[in-house]
Amino acid sequence: MNFEHTEDRRMMAESLGRYLRDQYAFPERDRVARSPQGYSELHWKQLADMGIVGALFAEEDGGYGGAGFDIAVVFEELGRKLVTEPFLGTLMAGLALSRSGTEVQRAVIESLIQGERIGAFAHTEPDSASEWPRVTAQARRVDGGWVLDGVKAVVAHAEAAELIIVSARTSGDPEQEDGISLFVVPAEAQGLTLRGYPLVDGGRAADVILDQVRLGEDALLGAEGQAFPVIEQVLGAGVLALCAESLGAMEVAKEDTLEYLRTRQQFGVPIGSFQALQHRMVDMALEIEQARSAVIRAAAALPGADRVAREKALSAAKFSIGRIGILVAEEAIQLHGGIGMTWELPLSHYAKRLVMIDHQLGDEDFHLQRFVALSEV
């Protein structure tokens, strides 16, 4: 397998990295992350104009990428600067439209790519405990359309989204894969309430409350009751994106820790000269390389037709990223000492993000169990 990125991907990564270094330094990121919106409209539009959103989608959708490695390259760079702009939700909403939308529904993807709209994907529920098929939100047919009721939890950037892709059950029991449908819910839909809040690692999310939300017939995305395979693909792309983002954040935490060990002196010498600390840094570096290998394998498997192989690679990567991300966060803070916990030091923000990524779209325990279950198929 060739582990080198194509020239186009390298150029895209360099352009994105250069923009973020010049325009998204930590003070700017901190300002954006703590703003009332949780992201910057200016940065979002500029990044879209650079083609960064377009790299996440295939040519047939108006983009120029869409492969697993395109997603991984973009999100690794975003992770290096803890970018809070709504890339993940827009990616997942756009992929849902791409996989099962009509021609009219898929036309919306172009506006996502251009940065003119923001999308959100609302699937997780307050009591779902990361179980992907568990959906209790209900959708029932009425004359001329649908009525939706239920609650979706921690939907990133839902307050800024013009459209929200919502999963709801049209038949079956809460844990069944069959009977789940997807719906396109506009932000202005009557009966839709958003309970927004800031996230501990920056940015904003909201609980999406559906109370007798009335939608037209054309709101249904794909075949009724047959949405779970699409949901699984969308969540899989989200898992890969989070893993790559975590990898970028880990690399920065490692680099910052190495720099600190080179400059912090004790007993008249840099503490990086102490053999015990050198061993800990070597262990950290080896773990990060293992994480990189898992991300590469997941990116290669994402477009595969073999569902079991694809999902095993994604769950293996998310398990590895969860475990290693927390290890890197803990080690980096300990090697920095007390300063590692301060708000002013970027490292503490990287540590929080690494811990929180473990909990998004299923934590390491969930994905380990899922990997075992898939291995028995």
Question: Is 106 a domain residue?
Answer: yes
Q: 211-236, pLDDT tens digit by residue?
A: 999 999 999 999 999 999 999 999 99
With a pLDDT cut of 70, the percent of the chain lying above it is 99
pLDDT-based confidence at residue 245 (cuts at 50, 70, 90): very high
Helix (H, G, I), strand (E, B) or coil at 142: strand
Q: What is the share, in percent, of the chain residues with pLDDT greater than 90?
A: 90
Q: Last residue of a domain, which of 64, 97, 113?
A: 113
Report the pLDDT value the prediction gives residue 58, as an integer from 0 to 100: 95
DSSP tag of 149: E
Average pLDDT, the chain: 95
**Residue finishing a domain among 97, 113, 129:** 113
Predicted pLDDT at 188: 95
Contact 142, 216 (CB under 8 A): no
Residue 52, pLDDT above cutoff 70:
yes
**Are the C-beta atoms of 352 and 201 separated by less than 8 Å?**
yes
Burial of 21 (0-12, 13-18, 19+ CB in 10 A): exposed
Segments forming the whole domain that contains residue 201: 119-225
pLDDT digits (tens, 9 = 90+) for 321-356: 999 999 999 999 999 998 888 888 999 999 999 999
The neighbouring-strand residues paired with 65 are: none
Question: Given the DSSP bridges, would you call strands 192-198 and 119-122 parallel, antiparallel or unpaired?
Answer: unpaired
Average pLDDT for residues 176-182, to the nearest whole number? 96
Task: State yes or no: pLDDT of 1 exceeds 60.
Answer: no
154-172 burial by CB neighbour count: b if 16+ within 10 A, else e? bbbbbbbbbbbbbbbbbee
Q: Do residue 367 and residue 240 come from a single domain?
A: yes
pLDDT for position 266: 87
Residue-wise burial string across 41-57, b where 16 or more C-beta atoms lie within 10 A, e elsewhere: eebbeebbeeebbbbbb
- Whether 188 maps to a domain, the answer reads yes
Instruction: Name the 3-class secondary structure at 173.
Output: coil
Q: What is the pLDDT of residues 72-110, one digit of tens each?
A: 999 999 999 999 999 999 999 999 999 999 999 999 999
Q: Tell me, yes or no, whether 255 and 365 share the same domain.
A: yes
Q: Exposed, middle or buried, 343 (CB in 10 Å: 0-12/13-18/19+)? A: exposed
| Residue given tokens 């330094």 in the structure block | 25
Report the C-alpha gap between 354 and 248 in whole angstroms.
Answer: 10
Q: How far is CA 302 from the centre of its chain?
A: 15
Residues 79 and 124 in one domain: no
pLDDT digits (tens, 9 = 90+) for 281-296: 999 999 999 999 999 9
CB 167 within 8 A of CB 135: yes
CATH code for the domain of 217: 2.40.110.10
For residue 3, what pLDDT is reported?
A: 62
In a domain, 217, yes or no: yes
Say if 1 falls within a structural domain: no
Q: Is 146 in the same domain as 257?
A: no
Residue 155 tokens read as 């939907």
Helix or strand run (H / E) with residue 213: strand 204-216
Assess whether 212 and 309 both reside in one domain.
Answer: no
From CA 122, how far away is CA 177, in angstroms rounded? 16
Tokens (6 digits) for 81? 């600067």
- For 54, 61, 363, the CA distances from 331, given in Å and listed in that order, are 36, 42, 20
pLDDT of residue 130: 73
113, 148, 176 - which closes a domain: 113
Tokens representing residue 180 in the block: 């789940």
pLDDT at residue 187 above 90? yes
Residues 240 and 294 in one domain: yes
Average pLDDT over residues 42-58: 97
